[in-house]
Structure 1
Amino acid sequence: MSGYSHEIQLATSFLCSSSGSLPLLDLHRKLLQCCHITKEEFRFIVQRCPRFQLVRGPGPAGGSGPEVCSVLAKTSLRLCSGYGWEQCSGSGCCPQLHLCKFFVYGNCRFGKGRKPCKFSHDIYSDHNFRLLRECTLQQLDAEQLFVLLLQNDPALLPEVCVHYNKGGPRGGCTFQESCTKLHLCQHFVQGDCMYGLNCKRQHTINQHSRRMLEERGLSGDIIHELPVICRNIHHLTSTATEKLPDSLCQTDERKEICLHFTRNSCRFQNECRRVHFYLPYKWEVLVGVTWTDLQHMENIERDFCDPSNTQSCGDPPVDFLTMTQASRPIRRLSTVSSVTKPPHYILTTEWLWYYRRDQGSWVEYGQPDEKQRTTSVTSRTLEEKFLSDRTTEVKVVKGQRRYVVSFKDMYQRNPKHNTKRRVCRRPRFVSVAEV
């Protein structure tokens, strides 16, 4: 997926500038205006990249028109709840953004007046920019980032009132005007309200909900967009993933280096569908519409294999987080993962999995840490599970503590203390001499 970082960043920007979602074909057309991307590449990105979720239903603006396949923007990034209560100083390795919640709502009264707000309004502070860069979201402006957070962070917006959607036309909510949840038609939010304009329940934000939202600090612009955001939230929390329409379902050959060619035994020769290269890895830069080999490939690979490196040492460096070099997209091709082949296959790619310690260093799964403690799973175990299902979660035990590794957002979570550590997947280095 790293080879398409430029396209992923563009698509994210388009989605966040359109209330968090776009019809699939509209997103494809927008991308075609900015970059050269085939239908196969677009299909691969929206289906496999954890940044996006496909859903079928009304378009982003809702309504009773025909159903379309839409793309929604996702992220695991959240606002730090402790920071808002001055319980998190902003130092260390907190994996959540340190921002004023009312700044995200677009209505912080301190930020607009003479008295400065005691909470950060800087999305590019050292702490925040590090997190944005790790999630490859640093290209978003403030408004785009806020849309992304609002539809993904469950702590930011109130839920739709369940009781309002039960009983008679006015619903069964006994709190009425004092209710702190949204009085919206649940079926409208789900996109399946059969009554349309004749529905007895609200399809827009009424005066009661508007007052409640304004008291919470939400700006008028966000309140206006809230029905769309609520619909996106509903789809993002649903488990079903939509398939692409037939117009975009074409075969997509993986850009994989041919193992047989590295041993001078490929019988297909020029007809081979895999890439023929003398190394088990290949670094390329996109120049115009052509992928071109990078110089000093071995040095780039050596730097990439070290999880503590976020860029190579060359000039200009390759940014491993955004997979760019001087704003040009970069991609890395490789042979198949070693876990998919028997041990006697040579020059397969051995992927190693790491978690980051509080001090910032990285420890490989299955290897002892500074206290000689090891995890219950190894790199090989994680790689096997990752290739079988890239959306699953893996339970990990280290000492007396239990964790969950999420492939979707590449974090290791401690469910008991609700803390997170970054997880990284990097290959084992193979030199030209070894090949």
Structure 2
Amino acid sequence: MAGYSREVQLATGFLCSSSGAMKLPQLHRKLLQCCDVSEEEFCFIVQECPRFLLVRGERLEDYTVVAKTSLRLCRSYSREKSGGCREESGGCPQLHLCKFFIYGNCRFGKGRKLCKLSHDIRSAHNFELLRDCTLHELHEDQLLLLLLQNDRTLLPEVCLHYNKGSGLHGGCTFQENCTKVHLCQHFVQGDCVFGLRCNRHHAIDQHGRRMLEERGLSGGVIQELPFIYRNIHHLTAAASEKPSDSLHKSVDQTDEREEICLHFTRNSCKFQNECRLVHFHLPYKWEVFDGLTWTDLQHMEDIERDFCDPSKTQSCGNRPVNFLTMTQGWQQVRRLSTVSSVTKPPHYILTTVWLWYYKGDQGNWVEYGQPDEKQRTTSVTSQNLEEAFLSGRTAEVKLVKGQRQYVISLQDMYQRNPKHKTKRRVCRRPRFVSVAEVENIKSMN
């Protein structure tokens, strides 16, 4: 991601100046005002850079990008009366800052009596951490917002009891003395169907404002809180998501409900129109969402051929399909297929054979189990990885190549060398089957 450091920096700044998140197309348009970044490059940055969380929506226009960081406030530093930390001499990996400074309302920062805790986000200790995370070029207010939505210990939780019951304060027995925020949970999650007619608060009310001000939060931060809480919800949901859950949401993984009927493809389906699976004459099907329905893409065989090539991130033609984001322009694209071959006995025909690749030393893609340019092979094959991937029981697979040991993360699709701390990308693509080959297989069975 080093080659896109300027784009990452700019995008982070835009997000933090826009309540911590932006719609995907909006962020791309904003970035284009400052640098020439193609749609393919932009999608690669958003999906691959750990600085960003991509929250999917029903349509591509609904996709949201949320700013992330691993930086947190040092709890030990805040608890010490003298403002000290046992690891302050360079070993502490967390920021040394006054919590109320982040809130924007430290009572010691405005009077004659100076605060014992640091208000300098660019102190020697803090700046080194910011530089390591490539956040040192952000403005102070951008950094503070980034911390607020990523460090879950800084803000009070949304009251769950308020969201239960029918009273003014829902089911919260503390009512106006509650130390949690009274906000509509569905509004925070972005799925409140009542809108302005909702009986729950979609903004901080007077009770909440008073409680938050007593905790030291400034009016500016309080005004941003409903949006910050929504970002916190997205970040928390992504962090708690099981590896198998996130894997099955990747663009390479076919949704079970969108599976092509194997019986229809190879001969006929006895359930006919009542079949819950998709009926199609090929073991793959490419569709684009026009805003209302999914329709077949033209040149489907050509798109499939390109998709099966791990070196390609998009298809050829005037309107290419981006395989990283599964989009054509700004329209969402999906690929349907028959079940994975590892889930059926070998005699089943027209199942989808998924192949697993790693990025070779020369930039080429090498299939697992096949010899590389030095005739070295890995101890695991595509079939081994596919079985592990579909089982969902493990997030990592260990392997050996030559004298070296590696670990494949099935969550972020990287192969790591634990000893040398290096990593290389992993890719999962199907084996290409032409239309003519499909017809030939059918005629022989």
TM-score bracket, shorter-length normalisation: 0.5 to 0.7
Superposed counterparts of 1:85-124, under 5 Å = 85-86=79-80, 88-89=85-86, 90-124=88-122
Q: Which residue of 1 aligns with 2:226?
A: 227
Contact 2:24 2:61 in 1 (8 A): no
Q: Which residue of 2 aligns with 1:22?
A: 22
Q: What is the CA-CA distance between 1:75 and the residue it aligns to? A: 1.0
Unmatched 5+ stretches in structure 2: 252-287, 291-302, 313-360, 377-397, 425-445
Superposed counterparts of 1:4-153, under 5 Å = 4-56=4-56, 68-86=62-80, 88-89=85-86, 90-153=88-151
User: Structure 2 residue aligned with 1:389, among 384, 395, 411?
Assistant: 411
Contact 2:399 2:407 in 1 (8 A): no
Measured in 2, the distance between the counterparts of 1:80 and 1:58 equals 39
Quick one: structure 1 residues 41 and 122, their matched pair in 2 at CA, closer, same or farther if it must change by over 3 Å?
A: same
Measured in 2, the distance between the counterparts of 1:78 and 1:338 equals 39
Q: What is the CA-CA distance between 1:97 and the residue it aligns to? A: 0.7
Q: What is the CA-CA distance between 1:335 and the residue it aligns to? A: 2.8
Quick one: structure 1 residues 343 and 58, their matched pair in 2 at CA, closer, same or farther if it must change by over 3 Å?
A: closer
Contact 1:58 1:191 in 2 (8 A): no
For normalisation by structure 2, the TM-score amounts to 0.58
Measured in 2, the distance between the counterparts of 1:99 and 1:336 equals 46
Q: Which residue of 1 aligns with 2:155?
A: 157
Question: Which gives a bigger RCO, structure 1 or 2 (Cα 8 Å, sep 6+)?
Answer: 1
Contact 1:169 1:201 in 2 (8 A): no
Q: Give per-residue Cα distances to partners, 1:218-256, cap 9 Å, x unaligned.
A: 110000010000011111111377879979xx9899889
Measured in 2, the distance between the counterparts of 1:378 and 1:96 equals 34
Contact 1:339 1:383 in 2 (8 A): no
Quick one: structure 1 residues 174 and 88, their matched pair in 2 at CA, closer, same or farther if it must change by over 3 Å?
A: same
Q: What is the CA-CA distance between 1:378 and the residue it aligns to? A: 9.7
Q: What is the CA-CA distance between 1:95 and the residue it aligns to? A: 0.9
Contact 1:339 1:384 in 2 (8 A): no
Q: What is the CA-CA distance between 1:58 and the residue it aligns to? A: 11
Contact 1:158 1:180 in 2 (8 A): yes
Quick one: structure 1 residues 383 and 213, their matched pair in 2 at CA, closer, same or farther if it must change by over 3 Å?
A: farther
Unmatched 5+ stretches in structure 1: 60-65, 257-332, 349-376, 395-406, 413-422, 428-435
Contact 2:310 2:365 in 1 (8 A): no
Measured in 2, the distance between the counterparts of 1:243 and 1:187 equals 25
Q: Give per-residue Cα distances to partners, 1:319-346, cap 9 Å, x unaligned.
A: xxxxxxxxxxxxxx96358995756623
Q: Give per-residue Cα distances to partners, 1:138-196, cap 9 Å, x unaligned.
A: 11111101111111111000111011110114211111111111001101111111111
- SS of equivalent to 1:183: coil
Quick one: structure 1 residues 391 and 340, their matched pair in 2 at CA, closer, same or farther if it must change by over 3 Å?
A: closer
Q: What is the CA-CA distance between 1:424 and the residue it aligns to? A: 4.6
Q: Which residue of 1 aligns with 2:204?
A: 205
Measured in 1, the distance between the counterparts of 2:201 and 2:68 equals 27
The structure whose Rg is larger is 2
Q: What is the CA-CA distance between 1:122 and the residue it aligns to? A: 1.3
Contact 1:191 1:231 in 2 (8 A): yes
Q: Give per-residue Cα distances to partners, 1:367-420, cap 9 Å, x unaligned.
A: xxxxxxxxxx8997884314x43279x9xxxxxxxxxxxx9xxxx9xxxxxxxx
- SS of equivalent to 2:118: coil
Contact 2:7 2:31 in 1 (8 A): yes
Measured in 2, the distance between the counterparts of 1:72 and 1:23 equals 9
- SS of equivalent to 1:111: coil
Q: Which residue of 1 aligns with 2:188?
A: 189
- SS of equivalent to 1:72: strand
Quick one: structure 1 residues 336 and 82, their matched pair in 2 at CA, closer, same or farther if it must change by over 3 Å?
A: farther
Amino acid at match of 1:335: G
- SS of equivalent to 1:112: coil
Contact 1:79 1:97 in 2 (8 A): yes
Amino acid at match of 2:107: R
Measured in 2, the distance between the counterparts of 1:391 and 1:225 equals 35
Q: How many residues align?
A: 294
- SS of equivalent to 2:137: coil
Measured in 2, the distance between the counterparts of 1:3 and 1:340 equals 28
For normalisation by structure 1, the TM-score amounts to 0.59
Superposed counterparts of 1:153-302, under 5 Å = 153-170=151-168, 171-239=170-238
Measured in 2, the distance between the counterparts of 1:378 and 1:222 equals 49
Measured in 1, the distance between the counterparts of 2:7 and 2:158 equals 34
Worse overlay, 173-182 or 338-347: 338-347
Contact 1:19 1:229 in 2 (8 A): yes
Measured in 2, the distance between the counterparts of 1:182 and 1:120 equals 28
Measured in 1, the distance between the counterparts of 2:188 and 2:421 equals 36
Measured in 2, the distance between the counterparts of 1:56 and 1:195 equals 22
- SS of equivalent to 1:110: coil
What is the RMSD computed on CA atoms of the aligned residues?
Answer: 4.0
Measured in 2, the distance between the counterparts of 1:344 and 1:145 equals 45
